[in-house]
Structure 1
Amino acid sequence: MTPRTLTLDSENPDPDLLREAAGIVTAGDLVIFPTETVYGIGTVHGMAGAREKLAVAKERPADQPFTVHIGSLEQLDSLVTEIPDRIRHVIDTFFPGPLTVILPDGSDSGVGVRCPANTIARELIQLTGPLIASSANRRGAAPPLNCKAAVDSIGSEVGIAIDGGPCKVAEASTIIRFDSRGAFEILRQGLITRSMISKALGEFRVLFVCTGNTCRSPMAEALCKQLIADREGVPVEGLSSHGYHVESAALYSGGGPASEHAVTVMGEMNANAKEHVSRQLNHEMLESADLVLALAPNHLEGIRHACQGENEILDKLFMINPTGVADPVGGPIEIYRSCASEIKNAIVHQWLERIVKP
């Protein structure tokens, strides 16, 4: 059975038609409604049997969580009693918008919350209260980008459909999960990137890259951490809690610790590479970093070749200094000392002011 469809102006929806739709939804029916990303199907959060009804329509297990859609930040406070300032800042920055935030609520899964950047959706939800919702398609089908596609896919399950025109973003929302400590992971990458979220949190990630991640880049990592810690007046171990993340990686990692001379020289310079273990560079590291520093021209070119056309990575990729730093591997400790001094000078004079918060 095809549901009744209300056609509304996406910027100035008719309030009488919205109230009519809200009445149908609060009476227990499902609704198809537009968001900026895809068309959704939803029902009133907390209503008896609502979750089960939505799960049947979506052909999903009843215990699989749905995202709670809100029409305003005031509605968020009714869902989660306490939101840490760190998480609240991300919400204030990106809501309304294409971001789903999974908040810790004491359960294993947490509660996923989204505030759509779509006037129809928000005004509807202001009338109905928060909706649990998902994309308006059957399991395995593509998320619909217009009302007709949503009705064709899942319209027989709903009491009302709202046509607000085609979705403007037409890309799935980014999904991030915060743990109780405020750390986050991206579960699905959408329009909002890890780098954008890190900036909203006041975080800065630096990644040093060399050949094997046993000599140059571990020393760069250790020195950079110590320089930031000294500037901020905090211990190295406390950098992450102040929003600084410094890492290093290899183009060709064979595993293993930093070289003996590298560890010794770092100790001489009041830095620490004793616990370092070589890591293989991967795409996720490059995406999450705010600044990628190659230790030599071949490292720079290797990353450029692997990331052709990915301007978001290429725009934050630089060489640590104009000429690069020669590999000290196999040389005497004096070569390592000279290498470390060159790295430190480059960080201090070219990069530290860019990394440290004003």
Structure 2
Amino acid sequence: MAKIIKINSQKPERKIIREAVRVLRRGGLVIFPTDTVYGLGASICFPKTLRKIYRIKKRSGKKPLVFLIGFKKDIRKFTNKLSNEAKKLVRDFWPGPLTLVFPSKKYKTIALRMPDHRITLGLIRGAGPLAVTSANLSGKKENVTLKAVENQLLKEADLCIDGGKVPRGTVSTVLDVTNHPFQVIREGCIKEKGLRKAVKGKN
């Protein structure tokens, strides 16, 4: 079973964040709270650990992981194609529960999100961008507490951060912004109507 550390979600203890960052920088796998549901993630710099995520979650290799970034400007590290529509969405909904699928420099497409959560941002800003998926077995319901996460995942992780119940408890909305107008891949916390209204507004 992985080491479990309790943390204050409102005022995260720096020493706990630093410990988790060290684990991530060594290629470790961490389970942690986000602004949507509990996540299972690793540094994007360790392909072996990313493959482990697919294996233990029993996730299809056809489903890419979301890359969580710590600053809006980090988008430019992954794509140089940012439409006016995408810029409006980033401006209005980041940080927050909105995942955007962009054309990619390295891959065909890439899913990026900047979360609105102190613990998650602390991990990202310390360890760099993280490849993340929800901390549940494929096909099972997403988890809003660490206690609900399957033992099968807990024992495979290197560290688990218990921040209590997450604020929203609903997955992020996912949009494909590779073309105009955007396409909704998955509706989650943010509803399509509000997104359409936002991109039609003034710059």
- What's the TM-score, normalizing by structure 1? 0.53
Shift of 1:191: 2.1
Structure 1: distance between partners of 2:28 and 2:195: 36
Which of 189, 192, 195 is the matching residue for 1:191?
189
Other structure's SS at 2:77 match: coil
CA separation of 1:172 and 1:153: change in aligned 2, threshold 3 A: farther
Asked if structure 1 preserves the Cα contact closer than 8 Å seen for 2:54 and 2:60, the reply is yes
Contact 2:36 2:172 in 1 (8 A): yes
Query: 1:81/1:47 Cα in 2 relative to 1: closer, same or farther (>3 Å)?
Result: farther
Distance in 1 between residues matched to 2:107 and 2:76, nearest whole Å: 20
CA contact (8 A) 1:32 1:160 kept: yes
Match of 1:118 in 2: 117
Could you tell me how far apart the structure 2 residues matched to 1:12 and 1:189 are?
Answer: 30
The 5-angstrom pairing of residues 194-213 of structure 1 reads 194-202=192-200
TM-score (norm 2): 0.91
Deviation, 1:119, is: 0.8
Deviations 1:112-135 (A, max 9, x none): 111222110111111111111100
Q: Aligned partners of 1:123, 1:170: CA distance in 2, in Å?
A: 20
Distance 2:130 2:124 in 1: 7
- 1:177 to partner: Cα distance: 0.6
How far 1:152 moved relative to its partner? 3.0
| Contact 1:98–1:192 (CA under 8 A) maintained in structure 2 | yes
Query: Counterpart of 1:118 in structure 2: which amino acid?
Result: H
The separation in 2 between residues aligned to 1:193 and 1:140, in whole angstroms, is 23
Deviation at 1:108, TM superposition (A): 7.8
DSSP-derived class of the 1:133 partner: strand
Deviation of 1:109 (Å): 5.4
Give SS of 1:165's match.
Answer: coil
Identity of aligned residues (%): 29
Contact between 1:75 and 1:129, CA under 8 Å: does it hold in 2?
Answer: no
* Distance in 1 (alpha carbons) for counterparts of 2:148 and 2:59: 20
* Match in the other structure for 2:178: 179
C-alpha distance in 1 between matches for 2:63 and 2:45: 15
1:101-250 aligned within 5 A: 101-105=100-104, 110-150=109-149, 152-180=151-179, 182-202=180-200
C-alpha distance in structure 2 between counterparts of 1:108 and 1:126, whole Å:
23
Structure label with greater radius of gyration? 1
Contact between 1:137 and 1:153, CA under 8 Å: does it hold in 2? Answer: no
The AA in structure 1 aligned to 2:159 is I
State the AA in 2 paired with 1:21: A
Runs of 5+ consecutive residues of structure 2 not aligned to the other structure:
none
**Cα distance between partner residues in 2 of 1:126 and 1:20:** 13
By how many angstroms is 1:8 displaced? Answer: 1.1
CA distance in structure 2 between the aligned counterparts of 1:145 and 1:72, rounded to whole angstroms: 25
- 1:299 is matched with none
Distance in 1 (CA, whole Å) between partners of 2:20 and 2:149 is 17
- 1:1-358 to structure 2, matched below 5 A, reads 2-105=1-104, 110-150=109-149, 152-180=151-179, 182-202=180-200
| Cα distance, 1:93 vs structure 2 | 0.8
Structure 1 residues without counterparts, runs of 5 or longer: 204-356
Distance 1:48 1:92, change over 3 A: same
Query: What secondary structure sits across from 1:201 in the alignment?
Result: helix
**Is the contact between residue 176 and residue 182 of structure 2 (CA under 8 Å) also seen in structure 1?**
yes
Kindly report the root-mean-square deviation, in angstroms, between the aligned alpha carbons of the 2 structures: 1.9
Higher alpha-carbon deviation: 143-152 or 33-42: 143-152
User: What per-residue deviation string (whole Å, max 9, x for no partner) do you get for residues 185-240 of structure 1?
Assistant: 1111112111211122126xxxxxxxxxxxxxxxxxxxxxxxxxxxxxxxxxxxxx
Give the structure with the higher percent helix. 1
| Contact 2:56–2:152 (8 Å) recurs in 1 | no
Seen in structure 2, the aligned counterparts of structure 1 residues 194 and 61 have a Cα distance that, compared at 3 Å, is closer
Contact kept, 8 Å, 1:56 with 1:62, in 2: the verdict is: no
Per-residue deviation at 1:37? 1.3
Return the alpha-carbon distance in structure 2 between the equivalents of residues 82 and 46 of structure 1. 23
Per the alignment, in what secondary structure is the counterpart of residue 40 of structure 1?
strand
Q: Larger relative contact order (C-alpha < 8 A, sep ≥ 6)?
A: 2
